[in-house]
Amino acid sequence: MKKDILQAPFVKEMRAVTANMYRLGWDERNGGNISYLLDEAEVGQYLDLSHVLREIPTGFSAKPLVGKIFIVTGTGKYFKNVDGDPETNLGIIRIKEDGETAQLLWGYKDGGKFTSELPAHLMSHMARLSVDPANRVVMHSHPTNLLAMNYVHELDEAKFTHTLWEMCTECIVVFPDGVGVLPWMLCGTNEIGEATAQKMKEFRLVVWGMHGIYGAGKTMDETFGLIETVEKAAQIYMLTCNRPRVNTIRDEEMVRLAEFFGVKYRKDFLHL
């Protein structure tokens, strides 16, 4: 007898985090998407892994992820509806042997499919796994203050990161690897997925110019926390950017922070 899939920890996490992201205003309408690499043995406690509901082309080759199982938000689905109807708004997929097909194991019960940003997600998973095999989550959202910051700040990753680091004492400790930045690009394409994946080899956070942010991490909490911290820093920047700067966190103080907490930081993003 299989356990109730709705009681699976990974389903509960997806329900909770999507509701929270919607509540914070990060994911309006059907904006935003999440993919979460699952443990096959754990999924097997809830689903018959030999039973494939249907197959869906992914539109690109993800050979390094063959056999991997993900829970993914659906295309056109609203984060506000995930908690109330997870089986319609979420899906659990496995990458087939050809690397170009997703086998649906559960979800999308209205005939839907995974987010249109799946190529960008899977490319980012491949990039992050090559750097850190423990990375399992990719999260995309549209945080309000971060998005506003895109319009009034240079979209240069060294300058953008430095400004964010200045806003909160915790920033250089939470994201010492900085924030990657891409110019505006057409979303839902392999091109933006490839560009994001390239940045993900250096950064766990990638800003999509005038669009939103991608975050990657080991757990749902870590990934959410990365975006949450960037958004808080962007909020402080937007509250203060039109006022005279009386105080700031100096670069030498950032170095003291990073070294005290033992994090490897981007020294080239500081002015020392």
87 is catalytic: no
Query: Do 122 and 92 sit in the same domain of this protein?
Result: no
Query: Do 1 and 84 sit in the same domain of this protein?
Result: yes
At 181 the pLDDT is 98
Positive/negative CA dihedral, 241, 246, 247, 248: positive
Boundary residue ending a domain (114, 136, 152): 114
Query: Do 242 and 152 sit in the same domain of this protein?
Result: yes
Say how many domains are in the chain: 2
Integer Cα distance of 70 and 137 in angstroms: 9
Integer Cα distance of 86 and 73 in angstroms: 9
At 180 the pLDDT is 98
Query: Do 239 and 176 sit in the same domain of this protein?
Result: yes
Query: Do 164 and 254 sit in the same domain of this protein?
Result: yes
Q: What is the mean pLDDT of residues 127-145?
A: 96
Question: Which residue is it, tokens 């938000």?
Answer: 73
pLDDT digits (tens, 9 = 90+) for 157-193: 999 999 999 999 999 999 999 999 999 999 888 899 9
Boundary residue ending a domain (63, 95, 114): 114
The CATH number linked to 4 is 3.40.225.10
At 251 the pLDDT is 97
Domain that holds residue 208: 117-272
- Please name which of 235, 164, 236, 240 lies closest in space to residue 205, comparing C-alpha atoms: 164
Q: What is the mean pLDDT of residues 6-19?
A: 97
Are the C-beta atoms of 97 and 52 separated by less than 8 Å? no
Query: Do 232 and 122 sit in the same domain of this protein?
Result: yes
Boundary residue ending a domain (92, 114, 136): 114
Q: Which of 28, 42, 97, 117 is catalytic?
A: 117
Query: Do 75 and 138 sit in the same domain of this protein?
Result: no
Query: Do 139 and 230 sit in the same domain of this protein?
Result: yes
At 98 the pLDDT is 96
Distances (CA, A) of 117 to 7, 73, 132, 188, 210: 27, 10, 22, 5, 16
Q: Catalogue the E-assigned strands of 39-135.
A: 54-57, 69-73, 90-95, 101-107
Contacts of range 48-56, beta carbons closer than 8 Å, 24 or more positions apart: 48/2, 49/94, 49/105, 51/105, 52/94, 52/103, 52/104, 52/105, 53/104, 53/105, 53/106, 54/104, 55/96, 55/101, 55/102, 55/103, 55/104, 56/93, 56/101, 56/102, 56/104, 56/113, 56/114
Query: Do 103 and 125 sit in the same domain of this protein?
Result: no
pTM of the predicted model as reported, rounded to 2 decimal places: 0.94
- The whole-chain average pLDDT of the chain stands at 96
